[in-house]
Chain A
Amino acid sequence: MVSGEGRAEVSKGVSLRDNIASSSILAHELKSPLALIRQLTFELESSELSLGERDELARQIRLTSERALRFASDIANTGRRQQELFNTAPLSSSVVCLQVVQEIQPLYKAHGRSFDFNKKSRDYLAVANPDLLHRILMNFADNALEYSDPSSVVEVYTTLLRKRDRVRFGVRDRTSLHGRKNAGAKPSQLPYDRHGLGLMIAQEFAGAFGGKIGTTRHRDGNSFYVDLMISKQLKLV
């Protein structure tokens, strides 16, 4: 699945239902944020907390529950996808990326990290379903927060592919070798067993409008991306 250059594509035609036949996998994915929420509520009951600490715990509980809800909502949507045809439209890549930044940034900040839009990215018109593309990128951003090195910088980016007929939307984590917490350790090593479910959900969504999901392992981090057809309207400009 992973080539020598570190690129990987999620297998085509493998349905989410085939891969997650066991509902126990889904249950486990949801168990993690729910267990955290439960532990944090125990903390709220402590009488030794200041008002500021209580506010901080309440914020952590809210952000964690939002993350769990996003995941549950994605699962529900993959089920519905079989019956529905999602509409596609030409989308401004910058607008899509900035919306993702706006939504995920509070969660990153709460973890003492940052999530930005890569400044070198140009604006392209891509053909996609806006809701599903947003969810795919949110999924990548959630994954990066959980699995990338805590000292890494995470960005959403867009780039035009070589044939100029597709545009790539990706989320990239980048760790400076100096800043890496575990000197000598490799950056996040794409542990597919842990990333897998989110990627499969993303692949299901992308498949709804002809997108293709993939990953690239870099020396200093990882990229998770979706390649989409560029809008023909661009040629008219």
Chain B
Amino acid sequence: MKRIVVVEDDRWLGAHYMRVLTRAGFEPYLAADGAEAIDLIDTTVPDAIILDILLEQSTAPTLLHELQSHRDLSRIPVLLVSNIADRVDLGTMKRYGVHAVLDKATITPAQLVGEIQEVVA
């Protein structure tokens, strides 16, 4: 079973992602902020990460920098999910292991699962 770490500080949205991923046959883990995410990623070594851009006390780029500094973790594909997806340049983020930038306002659960399946295939 593929392991997915979800980093989302909105508790209800995080729980929603967890239900969607569980139903799709993944083994999801939820972290509410960057520090918790690092611990979780370190212990679970997931197959992919779903990452909110604006996190309390840290931001996605901080976490991505941290991941890049560890050889084993830097290879984990990341999907950015955010309300400011239109302001994020995927070209720039690709060097940090970001495979796609998804807009929270328009994405459906099926699309989220599809994107995850694509990066863990």
Contact B83 A35, beta carbon cutoff 8 Å: yes
Considering the complex, give the chain A residue whose CB is closest to the CB of B56.
Answer: A147
Across the interface, name the chain B residue whose C-beta is closest to A45: B109
Name the one of A36, A42, A188 contacting B56, with C-beta atoms under 8 angstroms: A188
Inter-chain contacts of B104 with A (CB < 8 A): 31-32, 35, 39
Query: Do A40 and B12 touch (CB < 8 A)?
Result: yes
**Given A28-B84, A38-B105, A182-B33: A43 and B11 within 8 A (CB)?**
no
Query: Taking the nearest CB of chain A, how far is it from the CB of B25, in angstroms?
Result: 13
- Please determine whether B16 and A32 come into contact, CB atoms closer than 8 angstroms: no
CB 8 Å contact bits of B7-21 with A (1 = contact, 0 = none): 000111100100110
Find chain B residues with CB under 8 A from A189 CB: 57
Is B12 a contact of A194 with CB atoms below 8 Å? no
Whether A34 contacts B56 by the Cβ 8 Å rule is no
**Number of A-B residue pairs at CB separation under 8 A:** 56
Q: Are A111 and B57 in contact (CB under 8 A)?
A: no
Q: Cβ of B120 < 8 Å from any Cβ of A?
A: no
* Any A CB within 8 A of the CB of B36: yes
Q: How far is the CB of B70 from chain A (nearest CB, A)?
A: 19
Contacts known (A35-B104, A35-B105, A182-B36); A43 close to B54, Cβ less than 8 A: no
In the complex, which residues 177-193 of chain A have their Cβ closer than 8 Å to any Cβ of chain B?
181-182, 185-186, 188-189
Taking a contact as CB atoms closer than 8 A, the residue among B10, B12, B32, B109 that contacts A42 in the complex is B109
In the complex, chain B residues 41-72 whose Cβ is within 8 Å of any chain A Cβ: 54, 56-57
Known: A28-B84, A36-B10, A188-B57. A182 touches B19 (CB 8 A): no
Size bracket of the A interface: 20 to 34
B-facing mask of A50-76, CB < 8 A → 1, else 0?
000000000010001000000000000
* Contact of A39 with B13 at beta-carbon distance under 8 Å, contacts A46-B23, A182-B57 already known: yes
Which chain B residue has the least Cβ–Cβ distance from A146? B56
Tell me the residues in window 23-43 of chain B with beta carbons closer than 8 Å to chain A beta carbons: 23, 32-33, 35-36
In the complex, what's the smallest C-beta–C-beta distance from A61 to chain B, in angstroms?
A: 9
> What are 15 sample pairs from A and B whose C-beta atoms fall under 8 A apart?
A28-B83, A31-B105, A32-B83, A34-B105, A36-B10, A36-B13, A39-B13, A147-B56, A181-B32, A182-B35, A182-B36, A182-B57, A185-B35, A185-B57, A188-B57
Closest 9 CB pairs of A and B: A35-B104, A182-B35, A35-B105, A31-B83, A60-B12, A39-B16, A42-B109, A32-B83, A36-B13
